Structure 1
Amino acid sequence: MVNREDIGSWLEGPRSPLPEGSWPGERLGLPQTGRGSTAAIWRRLVSLCIDYTLCRLISLAFFHDSGLWTIAIFALENWLLQASLGATVGQRLMGITTIDSRGGRARVLPLLVRAVLLCLVVPAVIFNRDHRGLHDLAANTAVVRTR
């Protein structure tokens, strides 16, 4: 029989998805804090907003604010800048970068897959305890702090 202790109470709040004493990125061999640690969700979100706003402004200037052009520019910006410079404009401003999950520089084709999935939105909002969205898992990448 199930009792109250098995279920818990809503007053206890949500349970932590991480085992006690572990941190996001530990399974990938990333440090707990500082440079090279998993980027916080808020940094990633602000970075995304910066990049999307820049792409929206480009779309407004050249294509009279077409939503499809904004998404296309956003995907292209993410793919090209991450493949060539290692980070988008927003990522640079927020002090984060995208790496291969083994710690090296992410490759071109996985970054293309990641950019396309990021534009679909849903894969980006479903993430695991290492702060890796489905788009990161599919591309075998991780977003880490650079400072």
Structure 2
Amino acid sequence: MNSTPSGPTTFGQLPPSTWPGERLGLPRLGPHSVGRVGRRIAALVIDWAIAVGLTCLIWGYTLLNYDGFVVLGVFVLLQAVQLAAFGASIGHWLVGLRLITITGERAGLWRPIVRSVLLGLAVPALVWDSDQRGFHDKIAGTVLIRR
């Protein structure tokens, strides 16, 4: 007699979420729900603009002539420091987001560093699951939620 499991046996076999964050026990909408793509992009644009501005001030570049790799380094450093210290970058804070672990705790020190370095590689941020968690968040065990 052939015995097959009646349901998923691993997390990878779970069906997609009905709403982002469902599998993590997060609400569909409102505070503590997963931060949606629009807010995340807005936060990214704000944080990138801050990194460009700081790079121009510190290294004497102009807004039309700067080294993108220097900006990327400043961006990653700012992300790691702000997320570890405050649980949100300036961009996240302005659009109402904060970073937590998937268990609901503060992200601590190592998670923001890993997340920020992977975000700097860009590819992990372009791939996400039905919970709208990018690969960088999945590896770090974090999720961006609404405040």
The normalised TM-score by structure 1 is 0.84
One-letter identity of the residue aligned with 1:39: G
Show the counterpart of 2:128.
Answer: 127
Show the counterpart of 1:87.
Answer: 88
Q: How does 1:51-62 map to 2 (within 5 A)?
A: 51-62=47-58
Matched, 1:39 2:39: no
Give RMSD over aligned pairs. Answer: 1.2
Show the counterpart of 2:76.
Answer: 75
Q: How does 1:5-24 map to 2 (within 5 A)?
A: 18=16, 22-24=18-20
Q: Deviations over 1:69-93 (max 9, x none)?
A: 1111101110000100110000000
Matched, 1:103 2:104: yes
Decide whether the 8 Å contact of 1:87 with 1:97 is kept in 2.
yes
The count of aligned residue pairs is 128
**SS of alignment partner, residue 123 of structure 1:** helix
One-letter identity of the residue aligned with 2:142: T
One-letter identity of the residue aligned with 1:110: R
Query: Could you tell me how far apart the structure 2 residues matched to 1:130 and 1:107 are?
Result: 22
Unaligned residue ranges in structure 2 (runs of 5+): 1-14
Q: Deviations over 1:9-65 (max 9, x none)?
A: xxxxxxxx846xx21101001011110000110100010000001101111121122
Unaligned residue ranges in structure 1 (runs of 5+): 1-16
Moved more, 109-118 or 56-65: 56-65
The normalised TM-score by structure 2 is 0.84
One-letter identity of the residue aligned with 2:116: A
One-letter identity of the residue aligned with 1:138: I
One-letter identity of the residue aligned with 1:55: A
Q: Percent identity of the aligned residues?
A: 37
